[in-house]
């Protein structure tokens, strides 16, 4: 099989070396699932030929960007890994219409770095700068900015993808691939809308009492000038240099925030984004993505504080990141039960994959089965993810 695959993508773009197999056996969870081969197509045509070949042999294929998901959607035992990492170019820029076309393997960090020279950016900027555009489209990624501008699907015009039978599409029918976690096809390119780099101002608010914090959030959520609202638990605030109080960072699309200097804003945003790094490196190893309604934010924050679970996140959206210590692994189940009781869920940001399968509604499962029937009836793409099909 390797020879045939090498003839499609080139010998240098396929590997079964122990080191590559090991590296692609993980995502950002602890689970290890060993693939049989790692393949890096260089372009859409190679990806198409690869999927035609895999479909003929009914060979399972797991699709992968940078492997930053924690939900195990990009790992599988004995499968071929189809990685977008070597398809990482901007292929088209139309500044008049604010459109760019970018290959799936380019990271959001590299995309926005390249666009900075022409003063535009892709506005959904998630916490993890390494994630690929393909991965972001596949998971319909969310970021702090989503409070005002929505998720990635709002910014995708067209998607190029190859389905599980090897057919290629470049389509505006984006709902068939955006947020579908690779169950319908391998995304090879996306046409995205970009914006002028916005000017913002920032302000921090600090609270002793949770009710005061939530009252402030309630007010700011209705405010049209608010771009995003970031919450930090007391310990995290303290580590950021504040008192041991709950903190709220508000970003405005106007200059009414007290912090207006561009350099200072950048430093604060970098500090806020690096909270994930210093929380995890201080022993809070497991990361979950609880989503709750605004009414239940009080319960979530209180629960986490009581159990020494660190919490930060996009409080205006109800999307948080919760961090558990290694010794508290057993608490993860208790946390899931708590979330169910409050009507919250997991996997809305990090994806469903394997880990969050239990959170998928019957209605969603039916949608995925329909997609499989249309685009991948032999079920070769991400076969054990989200649903059990065939």
| Site residues (vs ligand FAD, CB under 6 A) | 27-28, 63-70, 73-74, 84, 104, 126-128, 131-132, 134-136, 138-139, 141-143, 181-182, 186-187, 276, 349-351, 353, 382
Tell me if 82 sits within 8 A of 41, measured CB to CB: yes
Task: Considering the complex, state which of residue 70 and residue 245 has its C-beta at the smaller distance from ligand FAD.
Answer: 70
CB of 30 to ligand FAD, least distance (A): 12
CA distance 247 to 54: 51
SS3 146: helix
Length of the chain: 390
| Cα–Cα dist 9/2, whole Å | 10
User: In terms of CB distance, is 141 or 202 closer to ligand FAD?
Assistant: 141
Give the residue with the Cβ less far from ligand FAD, 104 or 226.
Answer: 104
Between 131 and 245, name the residue whose CB sits nearer to ligand FAD. Answer: 131
Q: Tell which residue, 262, 233, 260, has the closest CA to residue 248.
A: 233
Cβ proximity to ligand FAD: between 245 and 384 the closer is 384
Q: How far is the CB of 22 from ligand FAD (least distance, A)?
A: 16
CB of 72 to ligand FAD, least distance (A): 8
Q: How far is the CB of 208 from ligand FAD (least distance, A)?
A: 28
> In the complex with ligand FAD, which residue's Cβ is closer, 139 or 250?
139
Contact 189, 101 (CB under 8 A): yes
What is the smallest separation between the CB atom of 18 and ligand FAD, expressed in angstroms? 21
Closest C-alpha among 95, 104, 89 to residue 185: 104
Residue 284: which residues within 8 A CB-CB, separation 6 or more? 309, 310, 323, 324, 325
Shortest distance, position 346 Cβ to ligand FAD, whole Å: 12
3-class secondary structure, 240: coil
Beta bridge partners of 195: 121
């Amino acid at each position: 099989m390797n020879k045939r695959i090498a003839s499609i993508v080139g010998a240098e773009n396929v590997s079964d070396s122990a080191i590559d197999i090991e590296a692609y056996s993980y995502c950002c969870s602890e689970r290890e699932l060993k693939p049989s081969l790692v393949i890096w197509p260089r372009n859409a045509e190679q990806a198409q030929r690869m999927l035609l070949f895999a479909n003929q042999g009914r060979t399972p294929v797991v699709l992968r960007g940078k492997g930053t998901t924690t939900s195990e959607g990009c790992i599988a035992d004995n499968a071929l890994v189809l990685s977008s990492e070597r398809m990482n170019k901007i292929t088209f820029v139309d500044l008049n219409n604010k459109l760019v076309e970018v290959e799936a393997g380019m990271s959001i960090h590299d995309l926005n770095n390249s666009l900075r020279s022409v003063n535009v950016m892709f506005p959904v900027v998630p916490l993890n700068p390494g994630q690929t555009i393909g991965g972001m489209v596949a998971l319909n990624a969310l970021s702090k900015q989503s409070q005002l501008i929505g998720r990635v699907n709002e910014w995708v015009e067209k998607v190029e993808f190859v389905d599980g039978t090897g057919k290629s599409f470049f389509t505006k029918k984006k709902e068939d691939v955006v947020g579908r976690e690779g169950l319908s096809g391998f995304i090879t390119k996306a046409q995205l809308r970009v914006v002028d780099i916005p000017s913002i101002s920032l302000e921090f608010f600090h609270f002793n009492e949770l009710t005061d914090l939530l009252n402030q959030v309630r007010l700011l959520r209705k405010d049209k000038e608010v771009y995003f609202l970031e919450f930090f638990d007391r310990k995290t605030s303290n580590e950021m240099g504040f008192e041991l109080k709950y903190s709220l960072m508000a970003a405005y699309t106007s200059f009414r925030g007290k912090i207006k200097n561009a350099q200072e804003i950048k430093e604060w945003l970098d500090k806020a984004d690096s909270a994930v790094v210093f929380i995890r490196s201080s022993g809070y190893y497991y990361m979950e993505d609880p989503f709750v309604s605004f009414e239940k934010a009080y319960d979530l924050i209180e629960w986490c504080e009581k159990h020494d679970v660190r919490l930060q996140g996009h409080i205006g959206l109800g999307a948080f990141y919760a961090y558990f210590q290694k010794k508290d692994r057993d608490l993860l189940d208790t946390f899931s039960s708590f979330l169910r009781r409050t009507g919250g869920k997991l996997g809305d940001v990090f994806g469903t994959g394997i880990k969050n399968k239990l959170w998928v509604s019957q209605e969603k499962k039916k949608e995925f089965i329909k997609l499989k029937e249309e685009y991948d009836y032999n079920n070769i793409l991400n076969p054990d993810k989200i649903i059990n099909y065939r």
